[in-house]
Amino acid sequence: MHSAIAFAVLSGLAVVKAQTPGATLIEGSPSYDGPVIPGITGQLGNALITNNNPLGVSYTATLPDSPTTGVRGSITATSNSNGTGVAISVSLFGFPDPSLGPFLYHIHDQPVPADGNCTATLGHLDPFIRGEVPPCDPTQPETCQVGDLSGKHGNITVSVFNASYVDLYVSTEFGLGSFLGNRSINIHTSNTTRLTCANFQPSNGTVSNSTINPTSPSPAVFTGAGTTTFASMGAIAVGLLAFLF
């Protein structure tokens, strides 16, 4: 199992939630009302704490100006000073009507394309193939989807939201499945509508290897229906997801 984990973490295995046209995305699973199962893990086990995050490396996702959402600000992810985990600094403002909240935010698996289509970022960063349900239990963050930042660290319930914390499971180390530098942030209303999104980019403008990915496996193939899995985990993951969804 450890080699499977290592393989998955290194190759960035991910499962993308089915997105049936016209149907509600389960994103963050806010509408799930089934039992919480303590200690649920992903198909590849619990998320691993990341220990070798390169010092001084920092990525920022800056939300675009958008007349339709009003939400602005940025999220910066910097290698923790002891190399374990990543310090996340969130500064967001301009949230709309609180009745649309609480608002959720996640790291999504894919970057935002040039046309700004947030849906094209697919599902959450989920290298351990944990899936959307049951919802993240923040007292057991290792059992949550790696990219589920609001699930692990709290929803947005105010119109100006600042937060700083260390997330032990995301990574700034290129090559890990939990690497965030080539991915995106999405911000949602409580019913999972995607309000806005932005790509992580090196904070200081330096072009680093983290933005270049010459040897990575093909990115997630989005078929528009069903669940996309990769490599040898496919059969197992499909079985689990059939159960979950």
Ligand X SMILES: *[C@@H]1O[C@H](CO)[C@@H](O)[C@H](O)[C@H]1NC(C)=O
Specify the amino acid at residue 74. S
Read off φ and ψ for residue 27, nearest 5 degrees.
-5, 105
User: What secondary structure does DSSP assign to 95-154, as a single string?
Assistant: ---GGG-SBEEEEESSPPPTT--GGGG-SB--TT---S-SPP-TTSGGGS-TT-HHHHH-
Using CB under 6 A as the binding rule, whether residue 191 contacts ligand X is answered as yes
Q: Under a CB-based contact definition with an 8 Å cutoff, are residues 133 and 121 in contact?
A: no
The window from 19-27, 57-65, 137-145, 236-244 that contacts Cu ion (CB under 5 A) reads 19-27
Using CB under 5 A as the binding rule, whether residue 183 contacts Cu ion is answered as no
The window from 36-44, 63-71, 139-147, 199-207 that contacts ligand X (CB under 6 A) reads 199-207
* Residue 144 binding target from ligand X, Cu ion, none, CB below 5 to 8 Å by type: none
Least distance (Å) from Cu ion to the CB of residue 23?
16
The window from 23-31, 60-68, 170-178, 220-228 that contacts Cu ion (CB under 5 A) reads 23-31
Place of tokens 């009302």: 33
Using CB under 6 A as the binding rule, whether residue 219 contacts ligand X is answered as yes
Binder among 169, 179, 200, 230 for ligand X (CB under 6 A): 179
* Residue 182 binding target from ligand X, Cu ion, none, CB below 5 to 8 Å by type: ligand X
Q: Cβ of 99: how many Cβ atoms within 10 Å? A: 7
C-alpha closest to that of 177 among 125, 118, 122: 125
Using CB under 6 A as the binding rule, whether residue 24 contacts ligand X is answered as yes
Q: Which is nearer to ligand X, 46 or 58 (CB)?
A: 58
Least distance (Å) from ligand X to the CB of residue 85?
6
Interaction residues for Cu ion, span 95-154 (CB under 5 A): 106
* Residue 44 binding target from Cu ion, ligand X, none, CB below 5 to 8 Å by type: none
User: What secondary structure does DSSP assign to 175-210, as a single string?
Assistant: TSTTB-TTSEEEEE-TT--EEEEEEEEETT----GG
Q: Under a CB-based contact definition with an 8 Å cutoff, are residues 77 and 105 in contact?
A: no
Using CB under 5 A as the binding rule, whether residue 186 contacts Cu ion is answered as yes
Rg (CA), the chain: 17
Interaction residues for ligand X, span 110-149 (CB under 6 A): 110-111, 117, 119-120
Place of tokens 């509408």: 31
Q: How many Å apart are CA 210 and CA 49, to the nearest integer?
A: 20
Binding site for ligand X (CB under 6 A): 11-12, 24, 30, 56-58, 80, 82, 84-85, 91, 100, 102, 104, 110-111, 117, 119-120, 155, 160, 162, 166, 174-177, 179, 182, 189-191, 193, 202, 204, 206, 208-210, 213, 216, 219, 222
Residues that bind Cu ion (CB under 5 A): 27, 106, 186
